[in-house]
């Protein structure tokens, strides 16, 4: 894999040239004219910006709108002042002891990126990495027996892990060796003469006699399944996820995760820049009053004020469409915690992911804790941002 910093532009550390200065945007970003486009994108979230960036590279004429005055929509990284305004009202101001507002870039939707995952491949393919800088995440942990414990990712680490007893360590080591050498098209690497498409994950665990605790951290802390439904799915899905975890770990050596300096908001900004360079038209602070449909229910344009723009392809986050056009699959609850110390039990890590398996807290879905700090240019010096997330399980979420 190419180095993320290869060919990256130099960044000034001057206060007036922070990355959220969009002087690079062309003049056509300031005004919307009635007309036809190949695609209209509503919202500047990560998904929408990836799509607009990829389509623009293919030569599509893009119009992208956002009702907010910042890029990123629900995946933005907000300054401290904007964060307080969003959650506490327009007149809210952060405490002075938290430092300068511009030193903060707080993610609304936390995400650590798998170093060898599909998103990284897109970033490298489109060369968006030239606008970004990444750091590896310091620690990957799982919560067990009332404390956080490091997730072992190699056979050698498995033997030294405190997560398992002596005999269980041997079983886990043998399991990792099998997963590491497994190839779907080579029968001599299969389990008991069967490919992992032919057996469930539960059957694979049983074959290696792994206990429920070991199964839990394999499935949730390494394969990153959010619940236990995966146990009855083909084992190939879990094996592929574990292989990705291990390959990504080997890329950087601490954890399989990387995180962008200045926060995740840099990702949609990078793809927005890619789109603009290829002629895309952008408008912030421009809401969509109505998505226009023909008699067959097919969207053909959008209306904002007295202006109408047309396109064969209309894309947007669900909030821009009538509620009848979207389906709610689940609700997610998040809590943003600002700390003046690292999380206990993580060896003073400056960035860390902690997974709390559902079984340890009598839930169906896991709980995730992502922590980043001032070393990533997302907080004032000595401050840490921890975001706790999980799927809502109550019948009537607030």
Determine the pLDDT at residue 129: 87
pLDDT at residue 131 tops 70? yes
pLDDT score, position 262? 94
pTM equals 0.81
Write down the pLDDT at residue 16: 33
Where in the chain does DSSP place strands (E)? 35-42, 62-65, 77-78, 106-107, 113-114, 134-136, 139-144, 147-150, 257-260, 281-283, 290-293, 299-304, 307-316, 332-339, 352-356, 367-373, 384-391
Helix 166-181 / helix 235-252 crossing angle, nearest 10 deg? 90
- The residue among 28, 27, 26, 36 whose CA lies nearest residue 307 is 36
- Domains within the chain, CATH numbers bracketed: 15-76+112-133+265-325 (3.50.50.60), 151-253 (1.10.405.10)
| Residues in CB range of 231: below 8 A, 6 or more apart | 200, 201, 202, 205, 215, 219
Q: pLDDT value at position 170?
A: 87
**Conformational region of residue 253, where left means phi above 0, alpha means psi within -120 to 50, and beta covers everything else:** left
pLDDT band at 154 (very low <50, low <70, confident <90, very high): low
Q: How confident is the model at residue 267, as a pLDDT? A: 92
Q: Is 188 helix (H, G, I), strand (E, B) or coil?
A: helix
Contact predicate 256/140, CB 8 Å? yes
pLDDT tens digit string along 61-102?
A: 999 999 988 888 888 999 999 999 999 999 999 999 899 999
For the stretch 297-330, pLDDT in tens is: 899 999 998 889 999 999 999 999 998 888 888 8
The string of pLDDT tens digits covering residues 218-241 is 999 899 998 899 999 999 999 999
Residue with the bigger pLDDT between 162 and 349: it is 349
Give SS3 for 334. strand
Please name which of 207, 208, 245, 204 lies closest in space to residue 225, comparing C-alpha atoms.
Answer: 245
Summarised one tens digit per residue, pLDDT across range 12-24 is 333 333 333 334 3
């Amino acid at each position: 894999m190419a180095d993320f910093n290869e060919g990256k532009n130099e960044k000034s550390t001057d206060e007036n040239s922070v990355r959220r200065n969009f002087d690079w945007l062309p003049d056509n970003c300031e005004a919307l004219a009635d007309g036809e486009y190949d695609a209209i994108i509503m919202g500047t979230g990560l998904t929408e910006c990836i799509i607009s960036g990829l389509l623009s590279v293919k030569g599509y004429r893009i119009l992208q709108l956002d009702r907010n005055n910042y890029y990123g929509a629900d995946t933005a990284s907000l300054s401290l002042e904007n964060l307080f305004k969003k959650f506490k009202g327009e007149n809210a101001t952060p405490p002075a002891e938290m430092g300068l507002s511009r030193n903060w870039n707080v993610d609304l939707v936390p995400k650590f990126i798998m170093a060898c995952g599909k998103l990284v491949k897109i970033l490298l393919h489109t060369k968006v990495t030239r606008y970004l800088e990444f750091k590896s995440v310091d620690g990957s942990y799982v919560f067990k027996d009332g404390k956080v414990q490091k997730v072992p990712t190699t056979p050698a680490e498995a033997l030294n892990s405190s997560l398992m007893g002596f005999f269980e360590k041997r079983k886990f080591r043998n399991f990792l060796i099998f997963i590491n050498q497994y190839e779907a098209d080579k029968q001599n690497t299969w389990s008991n003469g069967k490919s992992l498409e032919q057996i469930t994950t539960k059957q694979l665990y049983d074959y290696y006699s792994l206990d429920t605790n070991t199964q839990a951290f394999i499935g949730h802390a390494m394969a990153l399944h959010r619940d236990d439904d995966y146990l009855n799915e083909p084992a190939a899905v879990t094996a592929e996820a574990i292989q990705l975890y291990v390959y990504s770990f080997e890329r950087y050596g601490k954890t399989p995760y990387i995180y962008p300096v200045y926060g995740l908001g840099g990702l949609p900004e990078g793809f927005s820049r890619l789109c603009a360079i290829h002629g895309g038209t952008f408008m912030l602070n421009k809401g969509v009053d109505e998505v226009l449909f023909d008699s067959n229910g097919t969207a053909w344009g959008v209306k904002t004020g007295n202006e109408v723009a047309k396109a064969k392809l209309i894309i947007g986050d669900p909030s821009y469409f009538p509620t009848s056009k979207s389906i709610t699959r689940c609700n997610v609850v998040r809590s943003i915690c600002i700390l003046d110390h690292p999380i206990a039990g993580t060896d003073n890590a400056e960035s860390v992911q902690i997974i709390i398996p559902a079984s340890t807290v009598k839930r169906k879905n896991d709980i995730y804790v992502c922590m980043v700090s001032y070393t990533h240019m997302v907080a004032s010096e000595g401050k840490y941002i921890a975001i706790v997330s999980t799927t809502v399980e109550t019948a009537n979420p607030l």
